[in-house]
Structure 1
């Protein structure tokens, strides 16, 4: 059941002008500015007026709690907006850092691969030179055929853009 607290409060404000006048026969009259409103028992009159006061109190508490809730919602909304803004900025920084890390990882893998290739080429070149030179320690014994074979082996190990004979 939904009630309009403002209508209830307005209705209770009308009771502010009510007065109770007890009579000697155990009943009393409730009056307002325009005259008698009701005739009720004395025991009920206290209950009615106390109930009116309690209702006014709790309706006022409701109004204050609603005002506080609105302030909290506004404050929370501002804080939430600020947190979302900070999150977006941090996410952007994180995304950029992640891209940089990925780029560095690609470069590292490429450099590692190139190093591996270089070591393989160096080993093949050592093997080729050892094969061509044999046990001799001097280059005086190299002939034209061995020099040609050495050059072909060297060119086969390195791409054309790296070799500039």
Structure 2
């Protein structure tokens, strides 16, 4: 069976702003089947942003679950993420979902995986953070790290790193969705 590919999600925290950017390409094998998918969105009351890599239906299920966890934890993202990761790892249905997520609010940025991981990215030299997931994630991550000391604006850094990833990764395009929290 052919696999879906084509996601690059980049998170950048810098200068009091947190950005999650995602490309729009979805590929099946070597064919682009959708160029403008929206893989980054706001959750809950809009104070949390999230991007996903993986199967779309799985991601929507995880977004819904995370929103419920955010409500139950009164908007505390770290607590909601840990509770989601526990469910994801132990629930018979959720265990089969194939996705990863970057989630962020004004305080914290996290990567959540189906293995039960809730990971906070390593801090950059200026106390910010950079993280990426998906098939083009390593390209975007490398570009963002290289640009970090030269670009002070988090959104410009994220957009430029994603443009570089789109130039070198066949599963990444330049149709970005960008969400910001400050």
Structure having the higher strand fraction is 2
Greater RCO, CA 8 A, separation 6+: 2
**Between Structure 1 and Structure 2, which shows a larger proportion of helix residues?**
1
Fold-level similarity (TM above 0.5): no
Range into which the TM-score falls when normalised by the shorter chain: under 0.3
- Taking structure 1 as the reference length, the TM-score comes to 0.18
Task: Flag the structure with larger Rg.
Answer: 1
